[in-house]
Amino acid sequence: MRTDDADETLMLRYRDGDTGAFERLYARHKGSLYRYLLRQCGQPAVAEELFQDVWLKLIAARAGYTVQAKFTTWLYRLAHNRLVDHYRASARRVPASCADDCPEWLEAPAPAEEQPENREDRRRQAERLLELLAELPEAQREAVLLKEEAGLSLEEIAQATGTGRETVKSRLRYALARLRRGLGGAP
């Protein structure tokens, strides 16, 4: 990615009034962010609301933007915080997995009726993957989504979610093991 095309540069240009820079940023990240939110909350309507809120928050923070971290990390930090607010507002408890990564989850068997019978159908496998992803503890799912959708490293995921690097490592390890197992592969 060229320097003048980097996310941070585009954001700085938007801060200075270049709406075209924002459009490029938005086009670059909208799908990943939307899917991150959709996978996390599971409801398209809620995901749309959260998606809009995250971007509006970013727009509101435009004037004071300085490059202090990777843009994607900042964007998903906003999204993570909005999700936590959503959990609280909807009287859902904050996912336990945010505070407690339980190794026993690895041993918990996936529901038998959700095991795909036909593994040749790639599409069905993909759908299954999404189902498995939805079954993951939320913090683990978030780590997977930030890695797959936003392309964040362990450090960046830790920054975005406000946790430590080792915690992220642990969450990813358990999540990948469970997904593999759910898909019929080796854990």
Partner 1 sequence: MNDPRDSDFHDEELSALYRETRDAEPPAWLDRRVLTAARAAVEPHARSATPLRQRRGARFWAVPVALAATVIMAVGIVRLARETGELRMPPEMKAVQSLAKPAAEQDAVPADEAAPQATGRALPRTEPPAAPQPSPPVTGAIQTAPPVPTIPSEVSPVKAPSAKREKLDRLQATPARMEEGEAVRDRVVERPPAEWLAEIDELRRQGRTAEAEASLREFQRRYPDYPLDAGLAVPR
- Residue 119: CB atoms within 10 A of its CB come to 13
Query: Is residue 153 involved in binding partner 1 (CB under 8 A)?
Result: yes
Cβ contacts of residue 182 below 8 Å, gap of 6+?
110, 114, 115, 128, 129, 132, 135
> Is residue 126 at the binding interface for partner 1, with CB under 8 A as the rule?
yes
**Residue 42 near partner 1 by CB under 8 A:** no
168-172: Cβ within 8 A, 24+ apart: 168/143, 170/101, 171/97, 171/101, 171/137, 171/139, 171/140, 171/142, 171/143, 172/140, 172/143, 172/144, 172/147
Closer CB to partner 1, 138 or 149, in the complex:
149
Q: Nearer Cβ to partner 1, position 47 or 91? A: 47
The DSSP code for 137 is: -
**Per CB under 8 A, which region of 4-12, 83-91, 99-107, 143-151 contacts partner 1?**
143-151
- What do you get for the CA distance between the two ends of the chain, in Å? 35
Which residues does 63 contact at the CB level (< 8 Å), separation at least 6? 15
Q: Does 24 bind partner 1 (CB under 8 A)?
A: no
| 127 near partner 1, judged by CB under 8 A | yes
Least distance between partner 1 and beta carbon 48 (Å) = 6
51 belongs to the binding site for partner 1 (CB under 8 A): yes
Query: Is residue 180 involved in binding partner 1 (CB under 8 A)?
Result: yes
Binding site for partner 1 (CB under 8 A): 14, 17-19, 22-23, 26, 30-31, 34-35, 38, 48, 51-52, 55-56, 59-60, 62, 122-123, 125-127, 129-130, 133, 147-149, 151, 153-155, 169, 172-173, 176, 179-180, 183, 185
